Amino acid sequence: MQNDFARLDRIHIRDLHLRCVVGVNSDERREKQDVVINITLHADLKTPGKSDQIADTVDYKAIKKKIIGVVENSSCFLVEHLAELIANVCLAHHRVRRVNVIVDKPGALRFARSVAIEITRDQPDGN
Looking from the CA of 113 toward its CB, the CA atoms found within 13 Å total: 3
The one catalytic residue in 32, 50, 61, 105 is: 105
The dihedrals phi and psi of 7, each to the nearest 5 degrees, come to -85, -5
Q: Has 64 been annotated as catalytic?
A: no
Structural contact between residues 83 and 101, judged by C-beta atoms closer than 8 angstroms: yes
- Distance from C-alpha of 4 to C-alpha of 8, rounded to nearest angstrom: 7
Phi-psi region of 23 (alpha: psi -120 to 50; beta: other; left: phi over 0): left
> How large is the greatest C-alpha to C-alpha distance in the chain, in angstroms?
52
- Distance from C-alpha of 77 to C-alpha of 31, rounded to nearest angstrom: 13
Please give the positions annotated as active site: 105
